[in-house]
Structure 1
Amino acid sequence: MPALLRRPLPLALLIGLFAELLFAWRLTVPHVLVFDEVHYVPAARKLLALAGPANIEHPLLAKALIAGGMLIFGDGPLGWRALSTLAGTTVVVGVFAILWLGLGRLRPAAMGAMTVIAGFTVFVQARIAMLDGFMAGFVVTGAACLLWAMRGTGRQVWRRWIAGAVLLGLATACKWTAAPYVAFAGVALILLKRGRPDRWRGLAVVPALALLGAVSIATYLLTFAPAFFYASEPLSLRTLIPFQLTMYRQQVQVLPPHVYQSPWWSWPLDRRPIWYLYEVVDGAQRGILLVGNPAVMWGGLVAVAACVVGWLRTRDVRLGAAAGLWIGGFAIWSAIPKSLGFFYYYYLPSIWLAIAIAVAFDHWRRRLGGWDEAFLMLAFGLFIHFYPILAAAPLSGPRAFTKWMWFSTWA
């Protein structure tokens, strides 16, 4: 490896560049709105014009970012999706940062970032104008920033902690499912400071928790500023908080059954993916399937279990944190009051699997040797195999999808 790439920043930037080029390649295909783009692109158009409220069950920020892409690149497929690719790249680099800060080793940091790229879910979400990609980008970078604060000294600790709180507030301003991660950050602070008070040196628990909550909430509320300038039904300081209750009622309304719905407990099994597209478009039969890479989805569960067992035996906080991140991110879905569930709700937990895999390989590196490289080869081999139905490549005909249908529930 060149000497330059033995340093974390150049290596992270190189991996990020690779991810961005991969996500952006043929981004404008298909030239039609795909899956939930039919909701969010019109909402972004309306937000761009400050015409009035639209898609009110979700906060504004992710739709504002889609609108920003349209403002820069035009109201077309490039404008709809351009900033989503940056959000996906942010996730990749953010995972690298979390692993580097947590383990202090380049090999697991690079492996985790590459596993995210090969995991299918980030690739697909980075190429569509949906809310989840932006939400995940802010959550991952927020987690990295809070971890970075642990390495700070003096005022650095507070500045980085505040930056992390801002990022988590922005994540919640994209989609409410990020809100539990603010609580997770507070729990992590309490537990880790209890074990070793020198972590986040100079950061007292009670003021830090108060600051985390206050900054994240204030950041979230500030993102509603454009709604104060709507031509129709503008928000005001008096209606801002009641509007949150309106959003909540929209979130918990009972919806009719959907062909792609699936219960939350089934998502780690990769049992019911979602066809975002399967039709003749741009002169060819094309498909986009949101499915998890089987090597990452199922191998990640093995890694989480191994981290739990390893933590019980050694109390290594790195193993416990890697397992706890996935367990917490997945378990919250058992309590979120949604009438329907979909596999794309598993997006953030699918990212945490890459961290568990990298941490497990690193912890048992003497015993496992070069098996991490073999795992990455398998993951990218599957990525190449599934690429045509991840990236809307031309297919041979209407029944071409059967080549990739490992299970009847995938069709």
Structure 2
Amino acid sequence: MVSVLQRTARGGAWPVGRPPLPARPGSAAFPLDRPLPQDRLLSWLLAITLAIIGGILRFYRLGYPTDDGTPVFDEKHYVPQAWQMLRNGGVEDNPAYELVVHPPLAKQLIALGEWWQGYDGVGWRLSAALAGTICVLLIVRIARRLTRSTLFGVVAGVLLICDGVSFVQSRMGMLDIFLTLFVLASFGALVVDRDDMRTRMARVVAQGRVHDSPFGPRMGVRWWRFAAGVLLGMASAVKWDGVYWVAAFGVLSVVWDLCARRSAGVRRPWAGVFVRDVGPALWALAAIPILTYLAAWWAWFASETATDRYEVGREIGTGGPFSFVPAGLRSLWYYSGHVLSFHTSLKTSHTSPHPWESKPWTWPMGLRPMLYYYTNSGQACGESQCVAATMLIGTPVLWWASPAALGWALWRAVTAFDWRYAAILVGYLAGYLPWFLDIDRQMYFFYATPMAPFLVLALTLCLGEILGRARGGVERRSTGLLIVAIYLGLAVANFAWLWPVMVGDSITPAHWDAEMWLPSWR
């Protein structure tokens, strides 16, 4: 994949869409991507409009369902812990010793909603719904930058609004939508950083300074990459899974730097990357995430009663080769070891597995969804017996197309050296492949939530290929536009059809049966 990224980052599927910067005699022009559309104000208005629409849908009846006034499914862990944070200065009570098994950031964000609204269904889910709404705004802007098309930024926003996984997780007081938010935001920051660095490199080439050093130029302060590091640290402070994106995006960024130097004609691009880029990348995408992660534990460090806070001198010796490490960090390491032990021992029971457990090979097409809530009592549907359920379902028009979209992305990355497809695959696979490392671990479909935006981006690029270029002919363009419009219509219709079983509306048993498209959905 690294070799593919090296080649794809040099250009992409588009030819240069603007004249190269004027170069001095004897210097080559640096290949820039096609410029962004000149409709900045309109593009922001469209992005905000789509975010508002997505927000309205996500906030609709946000306080329902509950389990007789209590949280549902895994909300039962995180919602009370967030409420405890409000009462205890930012740390959990932890009445069941060592049961707190995730970093604190997402629970702190849930606590903000509870502080604002109170301890009820809306309060539990307020922050999650806001995070899901921001994801819609982000994906519109990211897709516009990837495709250089405001139209396909809108397409990506519509698809994410209609994605059942992102939608339902935005309405649950759980952690995964926050992980998705920070991962998607960090990806967007790195894409902007790539554009910024290539513009800087083009300026150096145009000024004839690229050969002043055999290693190429220094790239200066890179605030977008710094922001990506902070966001990746926040992702890791939601769940440790964020570490996989830290590694994946770190490699991606350095490979982009290598390819920029090669495209600029730097005499020693590999050495230039190690001399000029690796150190700053390690600072921005390794050290900054670590510092951000530790900062999320501020309340634990400040607490006198947090679990395992003062273990040095008790369970941890005061001497030894790591005695120079501050006692608070050593205690956090000790506590994290207990958390890691919990996760590694969380295995699938061969005698009584969880009825809604799923393995990662089912996730790309959403073959085994997740039932969060179900009741068949009540008569609100107009019959003697009704069904009300909330189920995490990947909208089939999107998720069932994933093998084709991801397969095409791989093909384009390998054969056309398209950096956009390669980057999307890196983001998708960083959230997918690690789950194969321990197949016996308990797993559920909601772990695939951070994969959803990258699937949407892959689908958006594929639809862009179908639409074709403006200069491809009126008939070709019209046919492509028709196909894109039909696909979007199907996505909206599919989302609307599944709406009752994603928001818990009361429906008849016959309607419930019609919603269950596959035997594995039951």
Does TM, normalized by the shorter one, top 0.5?
A: yes
- Contact preservation (8 Å) 1:301, 1:353: no
Q: Does residue 73 of structure 2 align to residue 35 of structure 1?
A: yes
* Higher-Rg member (1/2): 2
Q: Does residue 311 of structure 2 align to residue 311 of structure 1?
A: no
Matches for 1:394-409 after TM superposition, within 5 Å? 394-397=506-509, 400-409=511-520
- Contact preservation (8 Å) 1:125, 1:132: yes
Count of aligned pairs between the two proteins: 407
- Contact preservation (8 Å) 1:264, 1:334: yes
Q: Deviations over 1:72-93 (max 9, x none)?
A: 1111111101111111112212
User: 1:361–1:350: structure 2 CA closer, same or farther, 3 Å change rule?
Assistant: same
- Contact preservation (8 Å) 1:287, 1:389: yes
SS at match of 1:276: strand
- Contact preservation (8 Å) 2:466, 2:484: no
Moved more, 384-393 or 155-164: 155-164
Q: Deviations over 1:162-205 (max 9, x none)?
A: 11111111111111112100111111112222222279x99723
| Structure-2 separation of matches of 1:92 and 1:264 | 25
- Contact preservation (8 Å) 2:365, 2:401: no
SS at match of 2:195: coil
User: 1:181–1:376: structure 2 CA closer, same or farther, 3 Å change rule?
Assistant: same
Of 467, 484, 490, the residue aligned with 1:365 is 467
Query: Sequence identity of aligned pairs in percent?
Result: 27
SS at match of 1:35: coil
Of 238, 241, 251, the residue aligned with 1:187 is 251
Q: Does residue 266 of structure 2 align to residue 174 of structure 1?
A: no
Moved more, 260-269 or 49-58: 49-58
User: 1:312–1:146: structure 2 CA closer, same or farther, 3 Å change rule?
Assistant: closer
Paired amino acid for 1:311: A
User: 1:48–1:354: structure 2 CA closer, same or farther, 3 Å change rule?
Assistant: same
| 1:98 counterpart residue number | 142
Matches for 1:251-262 after TM superposition, within 5 Å? 251-255=343-347, 256=349, 257-262=353-358
| 2:363 counterpart residue number | 267
Moved more, 309-318 or 21-30: 309-318
Paired amino acid for 1:46: Q
| 1:163 counterpart residue number | 227
Matches for 1:57-136 after TM superposition, within 5 Å? 57-136=101-180
SS at match of 2:196: coil
| Structure-2 separation of matches of 1:30 and 1:325 | 32
| 1:329 counterpart residue number | 431
Paired amino acid for 1:72: W
| 2:294 counterpart residue number | 221
Q: Deviations over 1:218-257 (max 9, x none)?
A: 1011111112344634525141122221211111113432
- What RMSD over aligned residues (CA atoms) do the two structures have, in Å? 2.5
Q: Does residue 328 of structure 2 align to residue 290 of structure 1?
A: no
SS at match of 2:241: helix
Paired amino acid for 2:58: F
| Structure-1 separation of matches of 2:300 and 2:433 | 33
- Contact preservation (8 Å) 2:346, 2:441: yes
| 1:7 counterpart residue number | 42
User: 1:5–1:217: structure 2 CA closer, same or farther, 3 Å change rule?
Assistant: closer
Give 5+ residue unaligned stretches, structure 2.
Answer: 1-37, 201-218, 265-272, 311-327, 381-386, 469-475
| 2:186 counterpart residue number | 142
| 1:389 counterpart residue number | 501
SS at match of 1:288: strand
User: 1:72–1:270: structure 2 CA closer, same or farther, 3 Å change rule?
Assistant: same
Shift of 1:316: 1.8
Moved more, 177-186 or 361-370: 361-370
Runs of 4+ in 1 over 4 A off after TM superposition: 3-6, 153-157, 280-284
Paired amino acid for 1:264: P
Paired amino acid for 1:11: L
Shift of 1:363: 3.0
Moved more, 119-128 or 148-157: 148-157
User: 1:178–1:282: structure 2 CA closer, same or farther, 3 Å change rule?
Assistant: farther
Richer in helix (by share): 1
Moved more, 37-46 or 311-320: 311-320
| 1:339 counterpart residue number | 441
SS at match of 1:151: helix
| 2:29 counterpart residue number | none
SS at match of 2:72: coil
| 1:205 counterpart residue number | 278
Shift of 1:156: 8.6
- Contact preservation (8 Å) 1:149, 1:156: no
Paired amino acid for 2:252: A
User: 1:378–1:185: structure 2 CA closer, same or farther, 3 Å change rule?
Assistant: same
| Structure-2 separation of matches of 1:389 and 1:401 | 8
| Structure-2 separation of matches of 1:304 and 1:247 | 34
User: 1:180–1:283: structure 2 CA closer, same or farther, 3 Å change rule?
Assistant: farther
Paired amino acid for 1:180: Y
Give 5+ residue unaligned stretches, structure 1.
Answer: none
- Contact preservation (8 Å) 1:134, 1:174: yes
- Contact preservation (8 Å) 2:359, 2:439: no
User: 1:99–1:190: structure 2 CA closer, same or farther, 3 Å change rule?
Assistant: same
- Contact preservation (8 Å) 1:149, 1:157: no
- Contact preservation (8 Å) 2:125, 2:171: yes
| Structure-1 separation of matches of 2:428 and 2:151 | 21
User: 1:283–1:24: structure 2 CA closer, same or farther, 3 Å change rule?
Assistant: farther
